[in-house]
Amino acid sequence: QVQLVESGGGSVQAGGSVRLSCALFLNGYSISCMGWFRQAPGKEREGLATTWPANGSPPYSDSVEGRFTISQDKSKKTLYLQIDSLKPEDSARYYCAVDGRFSVDYCRRPNPSLWTYLGQGTQVTVSS
């Protein structure tokens, strides 16, 4: 059974930074794409960044102004999302997700509602 466990959220002042972590327990499940998305109350999921598990190259980061950076530590089996210059509108629940069906090209900009596995999320609240 696949399990993803996010951590690192909390209350942050605007202008600050936060690094979210996602521990990956794949139990043999073969994945082709990893990523992060967020969802604020009353809003749809918003894709943020994805990366290929094999070589770690981030194929896509839909970050405005380059404030979101995805990375992975294969030895720790952990996925990260660094968010800089936080704004109040970044307040949301942040989720990591993985999938074994996505092609290399689809991993560049997947529909955030189609991930097969996602974690429970971690809340980030940005105050002005």
pLDDT tens digits for range 71-92: 899 888 999 999 999 999 999 9
pLDDT values of the chain reduced to their tens digit, one per residue, 128 residues: 999 999 999 999 999 999 999 999 999 999 999 999 999 999 999 999 999 887 766 666 555 458 998 989 988 899 999 999 999 999 999 999 999 999 988 998 899 999 999 999 999 999 99
Determine the residue type at 117.
Y
Tokens encoding 55: 């070589």
pLDDT score recorded for residue 54:
78
Phi/psi at 106 (nearest 5 deg)? -65, -30
Q: Which residues pair with 78 in a beta bridge?
A: 23, 73
